[in-house]
Amino acid sequence: MKTGVLILFAVCTLCQCHAQDSKTQVWPVVSNLRATFDVTDKNPNIETTVFEEAGKPLYRIICHEGDFEDAETGSYDLLFHCKLVPVDTKDRFRDLFVPSDRWRRSRTRATFNSGLDDKCSDHPFYGQRRTFLVRGMKIKLEVAHFTFKPTEAEILEKGLIKPTQYGFSFGIDVIPDSTATGEIAGPAPQVCEDDFSLGKDGKIIEKKSLYPDPAQGIR
């Protein structure tokens, strides 16, 4: 009889642990947000705020041109880089777009370089339109009408890191989504990167690379 009680106790304990593990964080319901910005090399920095339904500010979406450094939000990478920053300064994350809580690199899916106007443009995770599910939100970031100077060939010939002139329309769309239970955005199934080089004949060689997100499995 005692053995039966112990087994029952063990089963109940496991059930309780499983129930506790299966609990998901309930995030505040956000108000819908839709905004469009004209981004250029002369005006490359944007910011907007995500509010709770009751009007309380919850998160800031901050985007800067690469090589920008901010004391509060850190460094920004490549051509254009966005961060989802909690208003609560006690939050353990300073960027909710990160793929892992141990991912120390600045590059996330909210970093735009490949996917603007190349073979990765229509990629579901690294293309012109990128969707994030995080903290009760579905967030869409979308680049459209991307133009730049000089040409890709001239950029390679001169050894430039990025275009000297560029412009695009940048859309931000935020809606509530109860399925978005994660504390951070998390990794994608696949990364798409596009690379350009000059052939011996002076023509552009474009190479598209697909590989698993290296942040997968890092917790």
Segment 35-62 mean pLDDT:
97
Burial 68-78 (b: 16+ CB within 10 A, else e): eeeeebeebbb
Which band of pLDDT confidence, cut at 50, 70 and 90, is reported for residue 61? very high
Phi, psi of 9 (to 5 degrees): -65, -40
Would you tell me how many other CB atoms lie within 10 Å of the CB of residue 184? 20
Listing DSSP states for 205-218 in one string gives EEEEEEEE-TTTT-
pLDDT at residue 23 tops 70: no
Q: What is the DSSP string of 121-190?
A: TT-TTTSSEEEEEETTEEEEEEEEEEEEES-HHHHHHHT-SS-SEEEEEEEEEEEE-TT---SS----SE
Specify the 3-state DSSP secondary structure of 20: helix
Q: Report which DSSP code applies to 109.
A: T
**Edge-to-edge strands, sheet with 137-149:** 33-40, 165-176, 137-149, 129-134
Instruction: Note the pTM of the prediction, 2 decimals.
Output: 0.86
When pLDDT is averaged across residues 22-28 and rounded to a whole number, the result is 74
> Exposed, middle or buried by CB within 10 Å (0-12, 13-18, 19+), for 2?
exposed
Can you read off the two tokens belonging to residue 83? Answer: 């961060």
158-179: per-residue pLDDT in tens? 999 889 999 999 999 999 999 9
Within a 13 Å sphere around the CA of 132, how many CA atoms are in the beta-carbon half? 29
For all residues of the chain together, what is the average pLDDT? 88
SS3 44: coil
Single-letter code of the amino acid located at 167: G
In this model, does residue 19 exceed pLDDT 80? Answer: no
Calculate mean pLDDT across residues 29-50: 97
What is the band of 115 on the pLDDT scale with cuts at 50, 70, 90? confident
Query: In this model, does residue 12 exceed pLDDT 60?
Result: no
Residue 202 has pLDDT above 90, yes or no: no
